[in-house]
Amino acid sequence: MSDTRARPAAAAGTWKLGDLTVNRLGFGAMRLTGGTPFAPGGGASDRERSVAVLRRAVELGVNHIDTASFYFSATRSANELINRALAPYPDDLVITTKVWPGRDPSGEFWWAEPEQLRGQVEENLRQLGRDHLDVVNLRLPPSRADGSLADHFGVLSDLRDAGLVRHLGISNVTSAHLAEARSIAPVVCVQNAYSVDAPGTEQELLRECGELGIAFVPFFAIAGGRREEGAVSADDDAVLTVARAHGVSSAQVRLAWTLEQGPHVLAIPGTGDPDHLAENVAAGAIRLSAEEIALLGSVRRG
C-alpha cells in the first residue's frame, strides 16, 4: 500500500512485455514537443518543463514510456528529451518505440522500405543513447490495412536476433496482421487506437490479445475520435456522470475505463503539463462499478 501512495502509477497493477514487467499506467511522449507529428502547428514546448514532467512521471512510478524518433518539432525531439531527463536510465524503465513511419527534416512523413528499418532502429538507439531497444512496434501505414507486414516484420525479427531489439510489437493492425506477425516472431504488444467511444468491433482484437497473453496498448484513450486534436471540455453525458460521481475529470474516467478492459490492457496517456500528468497517473487508482462500466459501454459507437 505504501508503494502505491508514493508511486501511484503502480495502483493499476502490472503486466509483462515479454520478460519486462511494467506498471499498466504508463506515459506517451508524443505531446512533449508541442503539437503532434500528425497535427503539427502547436507551439514549441518548454524544454525544462518537458524534462521535469518526464522525471516526475518516473518518480510517480511510471516505468513504461512510449516514444518514436518521428516525435519531433522544429526545436524539440521526444527521444532526446527522454535521454536528457532520464539517462542513466532506471533499471526497471521500459522504453517502447515504433518504426516504419519516418519524417524528413521539414516534417513530412515517409514510409520506410524493409531495408530502411535498420536505419530507423539505429536512429532511435542514437537519440535515446542506448545499445538496444526494449520494445519496437511496427506501425502500419493506412495503405496496409488489408496488406501484408511480413517483409517489414521479418527485418525486425532479424534485428531482434542480432540483439538490437529485445521484443517486438505491432501497431495500427488487424487480427489478420497479428496472426501473420506471430508466424514470424513473438509479439508482446498490440498498439491500436481505442477509447470508450470506439466502435464495438474494436473490442474483438482487444479480447484476442487477452486470450493470447499479449498486451493491448490503446492510444488516443482520452482523445477518442478526436485523435490528434486532443480531448475537449465537453464530453459524453455518461462519461460526465461517472466523473461527477467520483469527483474526477472525464479524462480520468476514460483512462480508468481503459484499464478496466482487462489485466492485459495498458494505458499510455501523454502530456507536457505536470498537473495533467498527476491527474493521469491518479486515474490508475479509480475503481469503477459494474454499473458504471455498463453505462460507459453505452457510449461506444457501432
Collapsing DSSP to helix, strand or coil, 194 comes out as: coil
Q: What are the pLDDT digits (tens) for 212-265? A: 999 999 998 997 655 444 455 457 899 999 999 999 999 999 999 999 999 999
Q: For 275-281, which contacts have Cβ atoms below 8 Å and span 24 or more sequence positions? A: 276/251, 277/27, 277/53, 277/56, 277/57, 277/60, 278/56, 278/60, 279/248, 279/249, 279/251, 279/252, 280/25, 280/251, 280/252, 280/255, 281/8, 281/9, 281/25, 281/57, 281/60, 281/61, 281/62
The Cα 104–Cα 157 span in angstroms is 25
Q: What are the pLDDT digits (tens) for 250-292? A: 999 999 999 999 999 999 999 999 999 999 999 999 999 999 9
- Residues assigned a catalytic role: 71
Phi/psi for 181 (5° steps) reads -65, -45
pTM attached to this predicted model: 0.93
What integer pLDDT is reported at residue 39 of this predicted model? Answer: 53
Select, from the ranges 132-141, 197-206, 220-229, 289-298, the one with the highest average predicted confidence (pLDDT): 132-141
The Cα 245–Cα 261 span in angstroms is 20
**DSSP designation for 138:** E
The Cα 158–Cα 208 span in angstroms is 26
Least confident of 5-9, 184-188, 231-235: 231-235
Q: Which CATH superfamily is domain 2-297 in?
A: NADP-dependent oxidoreductase domain (3.20.20.100)
Whose grid coordinates read 505536470? 274
17 is written with which cell numbers?
512485455
Strand ranges inside 183-272, DSSP E: 189-193, 215-219
Q: Is the separation of the CB atoms in 12 and 61 below 8 Å?
A: no
Q: How many angstroms separate the Cα of 98 from the Cα of each of 6, 101, 130, 244, 245?
A: 31, 8, 15, 37, 38
Task: List the one residue out of 131, 263, 257 whose CA is nearest residue 209.
Answer: 263
Q: Is the separation of the CB atoms in 45 and 99 below 8 Å?
A: no
Q: Is the separation of the CB atoms in 229 and 220 below 8 Å?
A: no
Q: Is the pLDDT of residue 1 over 70?
A: no
Sequence ranges of the domains in the chain: 2-297
CA torsion sign for 125, 156, 136, 93 is negative
If you average pLDDT over every residue of the chain, what do you get?
Answer: 92
